[in-house]
Amino acid sequence: MEPYSDRLESLRAQMAEQQLDALLVPRADEYLGEYLPAYNERMAWLSGFSGSAGAVVVLRESAAIFVDGRYTLQVRQQVSQQLFSIHSLIDEPPLQWLKAQLSPGQKVGYDPRMHTQAWALQAQSALARSEQELVALERNLIDTCWQDRPVPQSQPAMLLEEMYTGQASADKRAQIGSAIRAAGADVAYIFAADSCAWLLNIRGRDIPCLPLVLGSGLLYANGEMQFFCDPDKIPAGFAEHVGTGVEVFEEASLAQVFASLSGKVVLHDAQAANAWSRQQLEKSGARVLVGTDPVELPKACKNPVQVQGMRDCHIRDAVAEVQFLAWLDAEVAAGRLHDEAQLSDQLFGYRAAQDLFQETSFDTISAAAGNAAMAHYNHLNGEPSRLGMDSVYLVDSGGQYLDGTTDITRTVAIGKPAAEVRRSFTLVLKGCIALAQARFPAGTSGASLDILARQFLWQQGLDYEHGTGHGVGSFLSVHEGPQRIGKGASDVALRPGMVVSDEPGYYKSEEYGMRCENLLVVIEVGEMVDSGKQLLAFETLTLVPFDRRLLDRDLLTGAELTWLNEYHSRVCSVLSPRLDGDDLTWLERTTRPL
């Protein structure tokens, strides 16, 4: 229970000074990104929970932790149930639970830097209905208690050359500046660090797996930009790299610069930017125009240079994957059944040997047998399991390269899996193929295409709970918006140059799980006959064989077999010149026609 009991008591002392009855601690930081640097893992410091999503609520005499279904087991292993009650983040959200614990007139504290403006407005309204008050704090109370907090890293930013970005920073800023002017604003607050990275053609090493310089920016209608970050990270040559019109400021000066925007129309994304920024803008007398991040959509639509970079990095990434899968088959045949951590490390070694490789694009999901039934399993959260015969192994991994980002899942037969497993895998693969073959008119969103991937599972009364596809950045975030493919996904239309994942799956609790994931890029293939609208389709970027040992061929149609044979033929043709010896033999064997 130690040291978490002491930490809770220290935090409650701070709450008492602020006259708070409750405190919200999300698994988030002031940048609201998917990944957190170690010094911002406040929820983990307080509770011991290391998962990637969740929240803690601290009351004067008790505390609760909220996690989703991915972490039901992990939270019980990591968190003291004497100190924290455990709840579902989805079925019993923190605010809903909190309202029932408090009386009218009581106060709930939150750090407005850790929540979006949209969340703050919703929370304020919900608590007001119970006559409870949401209080924005000027300082984070955990920071005042965290005595041995890690020191932030200060590695220099990388100036990403135009041979990888395809467009100069000055041109990007002028383009987005015109959009800001057209929206009726003088300036836009660019909150997302990846949007700033795209605008300035820089990358960083502030967060594992996500090549960003943490910070935010103000982009003016004339294309000039003020970038707020740690100036020590700005390398020599930055001014020449970005062109004229860019100034760098300490992050601490953001409030002061906001104060100079009195009377200006400032575009602000309430769904993405934190509540603190909105509160500061309103305090300054700026006129806030609610809208979306003007960088998000242009960033998602890769230009021809970036699309070619994605093609190129996927070839190198596929070489690493094939080397790993060939090695794995040989190890299993020799009776050497490694554990999940050893397998993950082996794959990393092959990937790290590829040209332009920088780091992984997320923590590898290396899952044996029943662990594969947890869609977002992480072997680092417990004792890694060892491969078991006559089962499956799921490996979901990716790399960050100077010319692009990869994300691939392959499910591998270990021994001779049961007929039920092969049937489930084939249903999943059929969905993957159906989505990859889709043709659709311009204006179609990912929500409209989701059923293509699920249809065969649905016909058997089966389904999966995660989305079918997410956007992917170009040497940026492996989970990039605004496009998605899924139930109730955003209505943002898919456009040429967007990269999305195609990853249906099926998971039988505690027994097995499988997922087939390729990355696709949206391309134009002609016009609709009746309307003349642009006709779009997908080009498959990922070039790695699917495991034919997991197929139930009776479930595949002739057209599906043709697609699979053509895909495998392309894989072999592209990769063969880059492989030799046992790796080449394995590739030729696994890609021969069915």
Q: Which residue has the tokens 């049937």?
A: 423
Residues 117, 268 contacting (CB under 8 angstroms): yes
| pLDDT, mean of residues 24-50 | 94
Give one DSSP letter per residue of 219-237, joined into a string.
EETTS-EEEES-GGGPPTT
> To 5 degrees, how large is the angle CA 461–CA 463–CA 469?
150
Task: Give kind and range of the element (H or E) at residue 376.
Answer: none
| pLDDT, mean of residues 270-294 | 96
Query: Distance between CA 270 and CA 120 in Å, rounded?
Result: 10
Instruction: Please give the pLDDT value at position 489.
Output: 73
Dihedral Cα 250, 252, 253, 256, nearest 10 deg: 170
Query: Residue 256 is encoded by which pair of tokens?
Result: 């002061």
Q: Mean pLDDT of all residues in the chain? A: 95
| pLDDT, mean of residues 558-579 | 98
* Total residues found in the chain within this entry: 594
Query: Distance between CA 245 and CA 238 in Å, rounded?
Result: 12
Based on DSSP, count helices (H) and strands (E) in the chain, helices before strands. 19, 28
Sequence-distant (6+) residues with CB within 8 A of 495 are: 297, 300, 301, 442, 483, 522, 536
Residues 204, 211 contacting (CB under 8 angstroms): yes
Instruction: Please give the pLDDT value at position 72.
Output: 78
pLDDT band for 397, please (50, 70, 90 cuts).
very high
Query: Distance between CA 189 and CA 34 in Å, rounded?
Result: 20
Instruction: Please give the pLDDT value at position 465.
Output: 87
Task: Encode pLDDT of 51-96 as tens digits.
Answer: 888 999 999 999 999 998 778 778 888 999 999 999 999 889 999 9
Task: Encode pLDDT of 301-360 as tens digits.
Answer: 999 999 999 999 999 999 999 999 999 999 999 999 999 999 999 999 999 999 999 999
Closest by CA to 515, choosing from 384, 298, 350, 367, is 367
Query: Residue 117 is encoded by which pair of tokens?
Result: 């403006």
Closest by CA to 159, choosing from 227, 251, 219, 240, is 240
* Among the ranges given (34-48, 374-388, 447-461), the one the predictor scored with the smallest mean pLDDT: 374-388
Q: What's the maximum distance between 2 C-alpha atoms anywhere in the chain?
A: 74
Query: Residue 520 is encoded by which pair of tokens?
Result: 């696709």
* Percent of the chain as helix, strand, coil, to the nearest 5: 40, 20, 35
Read off the pTM.
0.94
Closest by CA to 77, choosing from 45, 38, 46, 51, is 51
Instruction: Please give the pLDDT value at position 2.
Output: 75
Task: Encode pLDDT of 515-552 as tens digits.
Answer: 999 999 999 999 999 898 999 999 999 999 999 999 99
Has residue 295 got a pLDDT over 90?
yes
For the chain, what is the radius of gyration of the CA atoms?
25
Has residue 567 got a pLDDT over 80?
yes
Has residue 280 got a pLDDT over 90?
yes
Coil, strand or helix: which one is 420?
helix
Give backbone dihedrals phi and psi of 20, rounded to 5 degrees, phi first.
-105, 145
Task: Encode pLDDT of 194-226 as tens digits.
Answer: 999 999 999 999 999 999 999 999 999 999 999
Give the DSSP letter of residue 149: P
Residues 540, 500 contacting (CB under 8 angstroms): no
Query: Distance between CA 501 and CA 473 in Å, rounded?
Result: 11
| pLDDT, mean of residues 490-509 | 95
Would you tell me how many other CB atoms lie within 10 Å of the CB of residue 594?
13
Give the DSSP letter of residue 482: E
Domains of the chain: 4-145 (3.40.350.10), 158-299 (3.40.350.10), 301-561+582-586 (3.90.230.10)
E strands within 285-390? 287-290, 357-360, 365-368
Coil, strand or helix: which one is 453?
helix
Instruction: Please give the pLDDT value at position 1.
Output: 61
Instruction: Please give the pLDDT value at position 349.
Output: 98
